[in-house]
Amino acid sequence: MVANVEFWNRIARKYAADPISDQAGYERTITRVRGLLGRDDRVLELGCGTGSTALLLAGGTESYLATDFSAGMIGIVEEKLAASPVTRLSFRVVAAEDLVGQGASYDAVLGFNYLHLVADLPGTLAAIRALLAPGGLFISKTACLRDMNPLIRLGIPLMQLIGKAPHVNVFSATALQDAISKAGFEIVAFEYHGSTRKDARPVIVARKCD
């Protein structure tokens, strides 16, 4: 995990400057997720990056904690929040697993462009389940590299070798759904919002099972 932290800290400013590759698809996802969150909901976002999504969604919730394990990313978030304050929004440098056992529970946990980057997918999903209140929702949008062009997968090890890519999980959308179900969730929606012909970043809405 340390190597990943160093990677994201190093590229934080560049990441913040890069434009969203599919703005229309991103806006459809934001609209969909906003419709799933209520005014009384306590929301946790994992892997929030530079906070753009949190700033758009937090105003419609009771409270919104956006987290990332990269202090570099959270530093940029704090700059954005200072420029455009949102009273219900707070940020913290922390990983999902470290939040378990701290007494807080959430009505919704969000993870965008996140699950394919975690070091331990089953462990992270277990932590998310532990952090959710009964019946709470886990909403993710995640790159399923197994469903992408094989050349992308072949290039990842080389990029990692020269420090240009972090740890990446390679799974299909079907395998990801299976992992989420096995972690104790019921999948209630599976959607693609991308504008490209081949969209490999499904939005999955899953409810915590009793």
Per domain, the residue ranges of the chain are 2-208
Spatial distance between the Cα atoms of 47 and 93, rounded to a whole number of angstroms: 10
Q: Can you name the residues that pair with 134 across neighbouring β-strands?
A: none
Dump pLDDT digits (tens) for 73-125: 999 999 998 998 898 999 999 999 999 989 899 999 999 999 999 989 999 99
Phi-psi category of 69—alpha, beta or left, where left has phi over 0 and alpha has psi -120 to 50?
alpha
3-state secondary structure of 86: coil
Classify domain 2-208 at the CATH class level.
alpha beta
Dump pLDDT digits (tens) for 183-210: 999 999 999 999 987 899 999 999 999 8
